[in-house]
Structures are given as C-alpha cells and as structure tokens.
Amino acid sequence: MGSLLKKLVERRQLASARYFLWARNARRDAKATREFSRQSGIPLVDIWESPILQKFSGKMLFILGSGSSVNDLTASQFAHIANNQSIGVNFWYFHDFVPNVFSFDGGKVDTGHQDISRTLRRMGQLFDRKSIIDSRPKILYLRPLNSDSKFLVPVPTSLKSERWVSARANFISRDRLVLKSDLRLILKKIAGHSTPSAVLPDNGSSVVRMIFLGLAQGYKDIVLTGVDLDNRPHFWASEKYVRRYKDYVELFAAPSGEMHETTQATDRPLGNVEFLALLANVMAEEGAGRLWVSSAESRLSAFLPQYLWPRPAGDSAVSKESV
C-alpha cells in the first residue's frame, strides 16, 4: 500500500474504505483456501453454517490455550467446561481433556526441523488416544503455509469426516482508535452474515480467530482459559507432561523467559494483549458478546472481567459469572 493511500486509509472516518481493503484480502485468502480444499479434500468452512459448535441456548464457549495456568484448573472446573463448549488451540492435544473442537494453525511450525511432515506425523500420533477418538471432536485447520499439506497435523481416519479448513485476513490499521471503529464494523458485518463465509478476522492469533468463530456460531459469552500471554512456559512443560510425552514435548519445546510471540506487534496490527482488551471493549459496547478471562494469572486479567467458576457440587452458593 502506497504511503499516501496508507495515510488516507488511517483516517478514522474511512472505516468503509478499510473494510473494502480487508474484504479484498479476505476474498484472496478464501480463493487460495478454496483451492487447497479442492486439492486436499478437506471441506471449506462456512463460519456460520458449518456444524462446529453445538448451538444450545445458555452455553458458554471456552477457548483453551497453552498457558501454564491450565495446570491450576481443577477436576470440577474441567467438568464445568465439559458441560459447555470448548475449542483447544494448537498443541492442546497434549492435555487429557478432550475439547469439542481442535483448532490448528497450519503455519505454526518450527522450520528448524529437517522433516516437517515426519515431525507432524509423530505429533499426530497423539490423536490415536482412545479418549480423543471416542469423543469425535471437530477439527478446524487454518490453511497451511503456502497451501502445503505437509504443515497439517494428521488425524486418524475415523475423524477425517469432522474436519474443515478456514481462511483468514488481518485488520488493516495499526492505530488503536482507528482499529476500534474497524472492529465495530466487522462485528456488525459478522452479525449480518456479510463477510466472506470461509474467512475469520485475524490479528495473527489463533485465539482471535476462535473468538470470531464463536461469535459467528452464536456464542455471547466466551471464556479465555490458559490464554496467559506471559513469559512462563506452556502447560506441557510441567513434569507430568514431560514425563508422559517426553519425545513429543522435545519436538516443540516451548522457550521460557520470553514473552509470548503474539504479544508483539511485529507482524500484526496490535500486540495480542492490547488487541484482545480492545476487542472485549468493542464487543461489550456493541452488545455483541462478552469476553472473560479464567485466571488472575493471565495478563488479560487487567483488562477482562474475571470468570467466576461454579462452586464444587454440594456448595449451595453456585454462580456462573462475575458481574
């Protein structure tokens, strides 16, 4: 984009022009994803109509990330998640809890591995666990890097009928106030089913895409769980997982002492902490839904309301949410 055009597009009043550019990019990615779908045999998703999440009134949607706060969750809390709907992002399949949906960012691989296909085939072997196969989770892939299927985590044959592939498009502006108006417009477009049907709005983050998927599928309350966005190691770095899946954990070991990559605005409009705080604010203002954070350990807890877990069975003071 030329410098003059960029300056013009960054004007707050030109939300429609920025949406036009976003939609153009979205259609391009949808076209590439449609071709990948044809070649791979994985159906192209319709973010509103594909039966990914159960559409029961009153259900919460839990988006399960890889933060270390996951290891603080209790059995009763996981039982509560199981009574609602959940999406496990990227390497969630290390965990014992089987969500309703697994979401994979096909481009999220360590290119230092000599043979990506072989590495991901090994990782995909974890899907052969009986608990996963018996649960028949849905699987949503992001179109992989360069539309190369070697970047997809493979799944057992019995789960292949439950797969879809999606496209994505990042927002245009890097200005917080301008982006706020763009989020307001995109939420209205999604509510009106008028964005390209295979495309999830993006900020270079699986969690962001899954929030928009949840909104498109009719969910109003979305709880971010294990979305810590800090410098602690991922949950699978704990002794339990290192002991159980040592060979697998070593393939994609999570560096500690570094902030989560999505917190940086290097190749995305805003760092993810700021973006999610802004999105939550716009969702609330527009009546589109509410974002909650499940752990006070998350950096998002400074911006998002704390989700109040129901008390264990036997305690009469049961509440679903904080107010």
Q: Shortest CA distance to 117 belongs to which of 310, 244, 251?
A: 251
pLDDT, residue 318, reads: 35
Exposure string over 56-80, b if 16+ CB within 10 A, otherwise e: eeebbbbbbbbbbbbbebeeebbeb
Among positive and negative, which fits the CA dihedral 171, 172, 177, 178?
A: negative
Instruction: For 76-118, write each residue's pLDDT tens digit.
Output: 999 999 999 999 998 898 899 999 999 998 655 554 555 777 7
Across residues 116-142, what is the average pLDDT?
87
Fold of domain 3-302: sialyltransferase cstii, chain A (3.90.1480)
Length of the chain, in residues = 323
- Looking at the whole model, is its pTM more than 0.85? yes
**What are the boundaries of each domain within the chain?**
3-302
Helical residues (DSSP H) of 136-245, grouped into ranges: 176-191, 206-216, 239-244
Instruction: For 219-268, write each residue's pLDDT tens digit.
Output: 999 999 999 998 888 898 888 888 888 777 766 655 555 555 565 556 66
Considering only residues 277 and 122, tell me which one the structure prediction assigns the higher pLDDT: 277
Across residues 167-182, what is the average pLDDT?
91
- Tell me the C-alpha distance between 279 and 186, whole Å: 11
- Tell me the C-alpha distance between 248 and 120, whole Å: 10
Percent of the chain topping pLDDT 90: 59
